[in-house]
């Protein structure tokens, strides 16, 4: 018996598969029953699998630098389809520069991703997320706030300095 069912995918332009092979094993070792949709996953295949398979978790992994955009496209497609709401996480190397990581995390969390895993500690953080999700349900997870670095120059809505 598995603890949860997961769909694993990447974005349409990303052909890297070692990340998918690795994450499938990691998910299985943590109690997941995994459908690995493979490299260059078409958006409609992901939407279809989520609707028909009703997984507990959708995991998107991308490393080619186009993942941030692909994640936006996938999120929009899931939102447009009926019956495709699912807790979902993204991770890997999501743009072509490491310095984008905080900004991308912020954007994807705002767009409705449950959590985003990039950088050195992505895997240990993900394993903690899986543990919590198995215990309480993945939709109950509260992602840690995205870091806003001073140089990111984000307007701080709602703060007022007197």
Partner 1 sequence: MPGHLDTFVAAQRDAGRLVVQPRMGFGPVATMRDGLERVAALDVPVVGTLTLDSYTRVGDHVTPLERLAAGEEVNGYPLVSHPPDATRELLAGLLGPEFPVQVRHGTALPQAVIRRSVAVGLDATEGGPVSYCLPYSRLPLAVAVDAWAESCRVLAGESEHGHVESFGGCLLGQLCPPSLLVAVAVLEALFFRQHGVRHVSLSYAQGTLAEQDRGAIRALRLLAAEHLADMTWHVVLYTYMGMFPRTPRGATALIADSARLARHAGCERLIVKTVSEAWQIPSVQENVGALLLASDAAQGSDLLAADDDPDARGFQDEVLAEARLLVDTVLDLDADVGRALVRAFERGLLDIPFCLHADNRGATRCAIDDRGALVWSQLGMLPIGGARSRSAGPELRSDQLFAMLDHVASRYDSLQPATPRRGAPR
The DSSP annotation for 85-154 comes to ---EEEEE--SS-GGGHHHHHHHHHHTT-SEEEESTTHHHHHHHHHHHHHHH-GGG--PPPPP--GGG--
Shorter beta-carbon distance to partner 1: residue 22 or 112: 22
In the complex, the smallest distance separating the C-beta of residue 88 from partner 1, rounded to whole angstroms, is 21
Calpha distance 67→56 (Å, rounded): 22
Q: Which of residues 111-150 bind ligand B12 (CB under 6 A)?
A: 117, 122-123, 126
Give the tokens for residue 107. 């954007």
- Examine residue 58 and tell whether it contacts ligand B12 (CB under 6 A): no
- Return the residue nearest ligand B12 (CB atom): 91
- How far is it, in rounded angstroms, from Cα 154 to Cα 138? 29
Q: Decide: is 63 part of the binding site for ligand B12 (CB under 6 A).
A: yes
The residues binding partner 1 (CB under 8 A) are 12-15, 17-18, 20-22, 25-26, 29, 36, 38-40, 64-66, 69, 93, 95-98
Residues of this chain that interact with ligand B12 (CB under 6 A) are 13-19, 22-23, 39, 59, 61, 63-65, 89, 91-93, 96, 117, 122-123, 126
């Amino acid at each position: 018996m598995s603890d949860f069912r997961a769909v694993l995918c990447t974005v349409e332009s990303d052909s890297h598969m070692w990340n998918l092979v690795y994450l499938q094993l990691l998910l299985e070792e943590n109690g997941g029953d995994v459908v690995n949709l493979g490299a260059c996953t078409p958006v409609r295949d992901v939407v279809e699998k989520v609707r028909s398979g009703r997984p507990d978790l959708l995991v998107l992994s991308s490393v080619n630098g186009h993942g941030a955009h692909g994640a936006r496209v996938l999120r929009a497609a899931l939102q447009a389809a009926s019956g495709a709401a699912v807790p979902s996480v993204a991770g890997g190397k999501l743009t072509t520069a490491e310095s984008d990581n905080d900004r991308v995390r912020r954007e994807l969390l705002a767009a409705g991703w449950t959590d985003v895993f990039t950088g050195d500690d992505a895997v240990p953080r993900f394993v903690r997320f899986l543990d919590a999700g198995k215990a309480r349900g993945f939709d109950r997870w509260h992602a840690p706030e995205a870091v806003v670095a001073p140089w990111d120059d984000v307007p701080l809505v709602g703060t007022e300095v007197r």
